[in-house]
Structure 1
Amino acid sequence: MQQPTALQRIIQVYFNDPAKTLAVKSGTQVLRQGGYNDRLYWVKSGKLSGYMHDETGEQSARIFRAEPGMFFGVHSFFSRTLVASTTVIAEEDSELAWIDSTTGAVDVAQYGPLSEQFMPVMVHELAKRQVLAGQQAIAKEKALQKLYAAEQMTTLGQLAAGIAHELNNAIGVLSSKTDGMQGTVRQYLARHQPELSPFLASGLDQGQAATSSQVRQRARALQQQYALAREPARQLARAVPDGEVPVAWLTDLDESLAAWELGRDLHDMRLAAQHASSIVRSVKQLGGGDQARQPGVDINDTLHKSLSLLQSNLRRVSVVLRPAALPPLTASSTELVQVWVNIIKNACDAMAETRAPQLEIITRCSRRRVTVLISNNGPMIDEAIRHKVFHPNFTTKKGGLSFGLGLGLSIVQRIVHSYGGSIALKSEPDMTQFRIHLPIA
């Protein structure tokens, strides 16, 4: 027959007396910190927690949990102080067995005095409490990391909102003054040089529609057709990008082009002010806008807002957006913009060394969900990193404007999951793709 372990023997010998068994209801205070205690308790069933209070008694913290098979009252019993070092409260109905200071040692000749026999109890209890302390330390560290991340995002959001507010004032002045200048210039030409008004109006209304390559091709044709110098031909190609050039343009080409260029510049100033105002509104949303989810949110519209926010990052990137007709969702536009901005910004960072960077965004719809695919042709992400990209505080960035906080994709995942959606990453040598599913209902 197998001999019981030292711990099993102690339980059998010292904690099997029905007269020394205690049933306690949930919420019962078994020990009080600083109170008298001459008992060593063994938990037969149930669950209890030990709390330590500060000097005022106003603050307390749980320092151990006593579950079946565990002991408490160890310090006051074995140190013979007879003063409880913690307050122990039953979290649920529990059954306890106990011995007290009058309990004598059994089989002293074979097993030694009580303190020697109970050494396994002390070691066992110390080991269990060490494990619990480690678990609590890990949980505390995780909570602190979440708190730090939230504080970082709050600080950045407040900074963004403050900067956006200041920029909005300047953009408002620029926008109103530009509109005023347009009206003033129109009136001036109408009174003093009415023959130039059509050219000004062309620049104001249409701006420059031709690309640089189209201008070069058109300018070469105009040079030959009208015997123009290179620079006037290029200016005329910008103003009249296709078709026959009306005779009115050629009557006084320099004056016509000057009026058109003035109109074009005012046109561009107005568009720039509108674009800047749109970006500022988006930044203010991210900085502290209303996060409430409302019906009628257009996924494609949130993608357009994200691309507007990242214009500076996308200057050298070829962007292809293939939107499908999507049903409106009940969502927070701010949260979705934050999702797309983080993913697209990461793609731009990944393509920093790519010779011809390309970004493709595709939206799709089925009966139950909307799918957004965001792909880039940056380098492949190896498998070890793919498993970590959604972990908080994981980052491959070394600094710079992005700060390398390692928060972006963990926040993205949290937002997507809060909608009941999913996000997955696939990476191959020629393509890395994020696939986001959002339920329609």
Structure 2
Amino acid sequence: MHQPKALQRIVDVYFSHSARTVSVRAGTQVLKQDGFNDKLYWVKRGELSGSLQNETSGLTAKVFRVEQGMFFGVHSYFAQTLVASTTVIAEKDSEIAWIDLNTQAVEPEIYGSLVEQFMPVMVHELAQRQMLTGLEAIEKEQALQKLYAAEQMTTLGQLAAGIAHELNNAVGVLSSKTEGVQNSICRFLEENKPEVSPFLDLGICDGQSATSAEVRKRAKILQEMYRLDRDQARQLARAVPKGDVPDLWLTNLDEALQYWDIGRDLHDMRLAGKHAASIVRSVKQLGGSDQARQPDVDVNDTIHKSLALLQSNLRRVNVVLRPAVLPTINASVTELVQVWVNIIKNACDAMEYTDNPHIEIITRCSKNRLLITISNNGPVIEEVTRRKIFQPNFTTKKGGLSFGLGLGLSIVQRIVQSYGGTIALKSDPEKTKFRIKLPIV
């Protein structure tokens, strides 16, 4: 250990005598609180700690630690109280040297009295103790912050469990009633208007798979090809996103689109019910997940499902999906849908006042990992917000119908990490991007 020149002389002159050097094993008590002490000790190697006991309560706390190159017994030696203020015990096998009150000053005519010579020791010791005290204070503050966060999460979990229980009942009713309405409509049409049942069934089974950009592009083609008005062309592009339009559609287009639209709405309602139930479970179980995972899940398909759920949010947003051919993974569809919905919904909220809002979703496969990036051209997220954005109680939505509990991205991070994946956020004035990496298992 590097020592200041004056301090190094003190060590060389006063603490290098073998007769005043001793080895102590870990656990050895060197000084006892309120016990006799007439020595100043220097730690040649090892580590010792000083503890203070409160006479009233009997509680004991460690108040300092001394390591190689440090001193202890400073107060009782220089104040000449001859009473140790703390109990000092070797934490590791150590070697210590000492001087006592009988030790004579060496070269006093040059360096002054013993007290004058040892002034660097006192200053050095004070600085060392102050630094260690500061470090320990930081460690205690960090421990307190973790304790506060744990307590906050416990309270949040209890609150979330109560809310989730109530929501679960409502979601259950909506899901069962939606199923009942769907069955009733299907039976009625089969008995009274069987000719429109195929359109309803197509909407129920497939819903809308095309993105907003794809719909606009195909609608222009259909409008010219079949001489349709703008609204008819767009609705037909949603219902038949690819290939030729069967003649069955064109016979009575308005009626066909009307019943396909009903089927699509039922499809979305069922999907939203399942998604809501998934969110309720995740909120209720902030600390864990019991979502049923299954093999052969297509991540691109879960993104399409998310976009279908968010149609109302995406009406004014240009969405570009650039999917790669991905291997399937073992996953929960509802969990992945929840991840994409939360990120995309947050992007829509952030771009509320953005001209020409744009979301780009890219999926890739690289080195046994799936890479999913979701970026938007909304306002930059400042660094102070980026540092807190995954915290469970942090939200930027404060008022009106845009309030938030700060749970969305916390749950997203928990789900991604439960797969052994990572999520990162980058933001600059041009683009805000979430990057998710999922291992291929």
* Fold conserved between structures, TM > 0.5: yes
Asked if structure 2 preserves the Cα contact closer than 8 Å seen for 1:302 and 1:333, the reply is yes
The 5-angstrom pairing of residues 125-274 of structure 1 reads: 125-153=125-153, 155-183=155-183, 196-198=192-194, 201=197, 204-207=200-203, 268-269=265-266, 271-274=268-271
The residue aligned with 1:120 is: 120
2:274 maps to 1:277: yes
TM-score normalised over the length of structure 1: 0.69
2:285 maps to 1:288: yes
**Deviation of 1:126 (Å):** 0.9
CA distance in 2, matches of 1:82, 1:398: 61
* Uncovered stretches (5+) of structure 2, i.e. residues with no partner: none
Q: Deviations over 1:331-380 (max 9, x none)?
A: 89899778767755664455343212222222211343332222222346
The 5-angstrom pairing of residues 295-374 of structure 1 reads: 296=295, 298=297, 300=299, 316-328=316-328, 344=344, 347-348=347-348, 350-374=350-374
CA distance in 1, matches of 2:338, 2:178: 32
Q: Deviations over 1:111-142 (max 9, x none)?
A: 55544433321211110111112222233333
CA distance in 1, matches of 2:260, 2:331: 41
CA distance in 1, matches of 2:111, 2:59: 43
> CA separation of 1:114/1:309 partners in 2, compared to 1, >3 Å: closer, same or farther?
farther
* Uncovered stretches (5+) of structure 1, i.e. residues with no partner: 224-230
The residue aligned with 2:19 is: 19
* Alignment length (residue pairs): 412
CA distance in 1, matches of 2:140, 2:308: 40
> CA separation of 1:320/1:312 partners in 2, compared to 1, >3 Å: closer, same or farther?
same
Root mean square deviation of aligned Cα = 5.3
CA distance in 1, matches of 2:418, 2:265: 42
Percent identity, aligned pairs only, is 52
The one-letter amino acid paired with 1:42 is W
The residue aligned with 2:88 is: 88
Q: Deviations over 1:370-429 (max 9, x none)?
A: 3222222234668xx49x945789999755245679x9699959976994x676666665
The 5-angstrom pairing of residues 20-59 of structure 1 reads: 20-55=20-55
Local SS of the residue matching 2:130: helix
Asked if structure 2 preserves the Cα contact closer than 8 Å seen for 1:351 and 1:379, the reply is yes
The one-letter amino acid paired with 2:285 is G
The residue aligned with 2:64 is: 64
Q: Deviations over 1:54-74 (max 9, x none)?
A: 557875544332122110122
**Deviation of 1:313 (Å):** 6.2
> CA separation of 1:292/1:14 partners in 2, compared to 1, >3 Å: closer, same or farther?
farther
Asked if structure 1 preserves the Cα contact closer than 8 Å seen for 2:44 and 2:96, the reply is yes
Asked if structure 2 preserves the Cα contact closer than 8 Å seen for 1:158 and 1:288, the reply is no
TM-score normalised over the length of structure 2: 0.69
